[in-house]
Amino acid sequence: MTGEFIQPAEVVEITGLSIAALAQLRYHGKGPRFYKPTPRTVLYKRAEVLAWLEASAQTRTGAYA
């Protein structure tokens, strides 16, 4: 297996987002890539969550992502 799979609760701890905000990001096709091995299971890869955070770095407040 490549990469460690984590559950949304751990993504919440890493990012500071709420579970609801994470669900909205999934719904809108934004946020870190996720995996659904079953209809009720959502998983993320830790490395992809961290990469998503790194990609959101800004140098000023007026810049849009």
Confidence at residue 60, expressed as pLDDT on a 0 to 100 scale: 86
More confident residue, 18 or 1: 18
Confidence at residue 65, expressed as pLDDT on a 0 to 100 scale: 57
What average pLDDT does the segment 25-35 reach? Answer: 97
Q: Is the pLDDT of residue 3 over 80?
A: no
What average pLDDT does the segment 1-17 reach? Answer: 91
First vs last Cα of the chain: how many Å apart?
31
Q: Please state the pTM of the whole predicted model.
A: 0.84
Which pLDDT band holds residue 59 (cuts at 50, 70, 90)?
confident
